[in-house]
């Protein structure tokens, strides 16, 4: 898929992953890369940007093996942003699909 299109929506995907609960970089990278076709590293610049925007906060937590992990947490502002943008995205997808889907699009035109 076109990387420009993907880039814009990945912020939202990371917010959605964090909605399920706090998580650390490696785990988020894996979750994102498993679902969307992106490199594991992609998540880190996004997390930095989200943290500087204040929609995500960070804290360190000891892990059983090895050094402490940096955890990411969705803030209240993050929840609001996610809810608003998720709705927008779903609506937008519906509209785009309406145009792109040949059969439905054709029929819709005929009916009008």
Residues engaged in binding other proteins (CB under 8 A): 24-26, 29, 33, 38-42, 44-49, 52-53, 65-67, 69-70
- Closest C-alpha to 88, from 9, 31, 14: 9
Contact yes or no for 73/22 (Cβ under 8 A): yes
Pick between residue 39 and residue 100 the one whose CB is nearest to other proteins: 39
Pick between residue 3 and residue 104 the one whose CB is nearest to other proteins: 3
Query: What backbone torsions phi and psi does residue 83 show, to the nearest 5 degrees?
Result: -60, -45
Q: Does residue 23 sit in helix, strand or coil?
A: strand
Query: What backbone torsions phi and psi does residue 68 show, to the nearest 5 degrees?
Result: -65, 150
Pick between residue 44 and residue 104 the one whose CB is nearest to other proteins: 44
Contact yes or no for 98/104 (Cβ under 8 A): yes
Q: Give min distance, CB of 80 to other proteins, in A.
A: 17
Pick between residue 47 and residue 82 the one whose CB is nearest to other proteins: 47
Q: Give min distance, CB of 44 to other proteins, in A.
A: 5
The residue with tokens 């420009």 is: 4
Q: Give min distance, CB of 8 to other proteins, in A.
A: 12
Q: Give min distance, CB of 52 to other proteins, in A.
A: 5
């Amino acid at each position: 898929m076109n990387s420009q299109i993907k880039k814009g929506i990945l912020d939202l995907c990371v917010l959605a992953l964090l909605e399920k609960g706090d998580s650390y970089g490696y785990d988020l990278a894996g979750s994102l890369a498993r679902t969307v076709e992106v490199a594991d590293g992609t998540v880190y610049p996004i997390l930095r940007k989200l943290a500087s925007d204040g929609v995500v906060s960070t804290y360190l937590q000891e892990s059983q093996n090895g050094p402490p992990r940096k955890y990411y947490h969705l803030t209240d502002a993050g929840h609001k942003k996610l809810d608003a943008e998720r709705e927008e995205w779903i609506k937008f997808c519906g509209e785009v699909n309406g145009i792109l889907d040949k059969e439905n699009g054709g029929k819709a035109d005929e009916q009008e």
